[in-house]
């Protein structure tokens, strides 16, 4: 496997299985910008592949789409080598400032390391130099391009998407859903179903020409991006209807979550601790309950 590929002019992807890492690097080579940081277990692989792409140059900045353990895990280790600034939402900044949250992110990363037989003593610690951005902000890249910032809550409350101009490339984190290698899309409305659906509509309205997904794939071409996001929306609504029906039978969130895991997540996109998956699925059941079932 080649260490990286060029997806579009000045847009590279580090070929890390399950965790494609997008690096923006223009012609003048003034350091690059990366989107998200994957898991701690991949830090060594990312560092090597970055070196293959950048040589002795360093990343100037890393933008975080949200604060999940599998998007920030390698951050603190990579910062040792690259000393980049981190750009994220205020909520992500707050999470990374919390000792309790940092310990939780480290714990899930240690579990992921165990699954990968990584016995090193690496740890996730609080990253440095985090700058908060919000809807409507613009992030100027070292190469003269810019990223527009969009708030896309629903997957988490801290989620952001970034749109590259020029180029019309959308970095949506997990707000667009997570795609399996089979092409099937898994909705992940962990903090709010309604906000997740509204965020998907917002992403559709951006008319991106390339959708750089955080896991497994990138979708190229405006028509394909639109079809993907519409498919994601349809899957999201289908899963909600299913959860509403199950909640009509019983309000045992844990049991419904197990049922979803068995029926919908039989071929998990992301290898990872089952605990993290169960937390996610239970959160979706609770969100549907509070927004559609519960009588106030």
* Residue closer to Zn ion, measured from CB, 68 or 286: 68
Q: In the bound complex, what is the minimum distance in angstroms from residue 295's beta carbon to Zn ion?
A: 31
Residues paired with residue 135 on neighbouring β-strands, in sequence order = none
* Residue closer to Zn ion, measured from CB, 199 or 246: 199
Q: In the bound complex, what is the minimum distance in angstroms from residue 68's beta carbon to Zn ion?
A: 4
Helix (H) or strand (E) holding 223: helix 222-249
Judged by CB under 5 A, the residue of 174, 179, 211, 253 near Zn ion is 174
Q: In the bound complex, what is the minimum distance in angstroms from residue 78's beta carbon to Zn ion?
A: 19
* Residue closer to Zn ion, measured from CB, 111 or 146: 111
Distance CA 209, CA 170 (A): 8
Distance CA 21, CA 44 (A): 13
Q: In the bound complex, what is the minimum distance in angstroms from residue 254's beta carbon to Zn ion?
A: 21
Binding mask of the shown chain, residues 61 to 80, with x at each position contacting Zn ion by CB under 5 A: -------x------------
Q: What are 210's two structure tokens?
A: 């390339």
* Residue closer to Zn ion, measured from CB, 60 or 108: 108
Piece of 23-31, 166-174, 255-263, 280-288 that binds Zn ion (CB under 5 A): 166-174
Handedness of CA 100, 39, 216, 263 (dihedral sign): negative
Q: What are 219's two structure tokens?
A: 């979708």
Piece of 141-149, 174-182, 217-225, 237-245 that binds Zn ion (CB under 5 A): 174-182
| Contacts for 249 with CB less than 8 Å, ≥ 6 apart | none
Q: In the bound complex, what is the minimum distance in angstroms from residue 28's beta carbon to Zn ion?
A: 33
Tally of CA atoms within 13 A in the half-sphere of 190 that contains its CB: 22
Q: Does 25 bind Zn ion (CB under 5 A)?
A: no
Q: How many residues bind Zn ion (CB under 5 A)?
A: 2
Print burial letters for 106-125: b (CB count within 10 Å at least 16), e (below 16). bebbbbbbeeeebeeebebe
* Residue closer to Zn ion, measured from CB, 184 or 222: 184
Binding mask of the shown chain, residues 191 to 220, with x at each position contacting Zn ion by CB under 5 A: ------------------------------
Q: Sheet with 146-151: list strands edge to edge.
A: 138-140, 146-151, 160-165, 169-171, 210-212, 218-220
Q: In the bound complex, what is the minimum distance in angstroms from residue 62's beta carbon to Zn ion?
A: 16
Helix (H) or strand (E) holding 139: strand 138-140
Q: Which residues contact Zn ion by CB under 5 A?
A: 68, 174
């Amino acid at each position: 496997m080649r260490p990286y590929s060029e997806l579009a002019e000045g847009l590279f992807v580090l070929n890390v299985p399950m965790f494609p890492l997008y690096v923006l690097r223009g012609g003048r080579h003034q350091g690059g910008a990366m989107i998200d940081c994957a898991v701690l277990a991949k830090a060594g692989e990312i560092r090597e592949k970055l070196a293959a792409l950048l040589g002795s140059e360093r990343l100037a900045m890393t933008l975080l789409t949200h604060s999940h353990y599998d998007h920030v895990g390698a951050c603190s280790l990579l910062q040792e080598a690259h000393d980049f600034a981190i750009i994220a939402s205020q909520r992500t900044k707050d999470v990374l400032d919390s000792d309790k949250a940092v310990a939780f992110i480290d714990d899930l990363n240690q579990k992921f390391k165990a699954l990968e037989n990584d016995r090193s003593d690496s740890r996730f610690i609080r990253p440095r130099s985090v700058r908060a951005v919000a809807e409507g902000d613009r992030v100027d890249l070292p190469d003269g391009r810019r990223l527009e910032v969009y708030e896309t809550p629903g997957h988490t409350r801290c989620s952001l998407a970034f749109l590259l101009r020029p180029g019309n490339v959308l970095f949506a984190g997990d707000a667009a859903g997570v795609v399996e290698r089979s092409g099937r899309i898994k909705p992940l409305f962990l903090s709010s179903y309604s906000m997740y659906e509204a965020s998907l509509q917002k992403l559709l309205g951006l008319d991106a020409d390339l959708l750089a997904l955080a896991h497994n794939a990138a979708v190229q071409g405006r028509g394909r991006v639109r079809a993907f996001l519409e498919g994601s929306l349809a899957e999201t609504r289908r899963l909600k209807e299913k959860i509403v029906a199950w909640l009509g039978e019983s309000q045992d969130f844990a049991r419904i979550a197990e049922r979803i895991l068995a029926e919908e997540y039989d071929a998990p996109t992301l290898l990872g601790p089952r605990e993290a998956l169960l937390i996610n699925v239970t959160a979706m059941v609770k969100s549907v309950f509070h927004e559609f079932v519960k009588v106030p």
